Amino acid sequence: MIDQLRNHFEGPLALPPAATRWLLDLWQVIQFLDDVVDNDPISKSHVQHCIFLAIAGLPSNPFFRTYSSDLLPLLANAVLKWKASDDAELVGESDAKSFVWRASYYDVVMGAVLICHGPEAASNAAKYVMQMYGESFDDYLKEFKHA
């Protein structure tokens, strides 16, 4: 998945290297935290790598340092949407709404496109960015029917 994201960021979205690196590092940290919450097996080296990214890598990235005041509200919103999705899933209320909330990473990607290229380019790329979400609704629902 990380290579697919990189291809989107470096290709059609033409994001600068620092923005691409920050978004890819963020993806790794989000996936790591999701594995922790779900009690999935995680290697010690991956834990150490993601701890470094979360504590030093993400905040020291030049894109984040320059645009942190724009990115922090997007990150906070993404966390709250993930929490809402997780809460719904835990009580058996997984539905189309919780599926959409789960994809909040792409809200952050959209914000990065807006920051890097401005409103017109972001508007033109909006559908493309939202279609990057790779999980299907049917697969999402199956995940909870087998849990």
Tell me the pLDDT tens digit for each residue of 40-93. Answer: 999 999 999 999 999 999 999 999 999 999 999 999 999 999 999 989 988 999
Instruction: Please say if the pLDDT value at position 146 is more than 70.
Output: no
Average pLDDT over residues 104-132: 97
Domain region containing 24: 2-145
Average pLDDT over residues 114-127: 98
Q: Please name the residue ranges forming H helices in 53-104.
A: 58-60, 62-90, 96-102
Contacts of 81 (CB under 8 A, 6+ apart): 101, 102, 104, 107
Number of structural domains the chain divides into: 1
Instruction: Please say if the pLDDT value at position 20 is more than 60.
Output: yes
Q: Buried b vs exposed e over 71-86: b needs ≥16 C-beta within 10 Å? A: beebbeebeebbeebe
Which of 20, 50, 57 lies closest to 35, judged by CA? 50
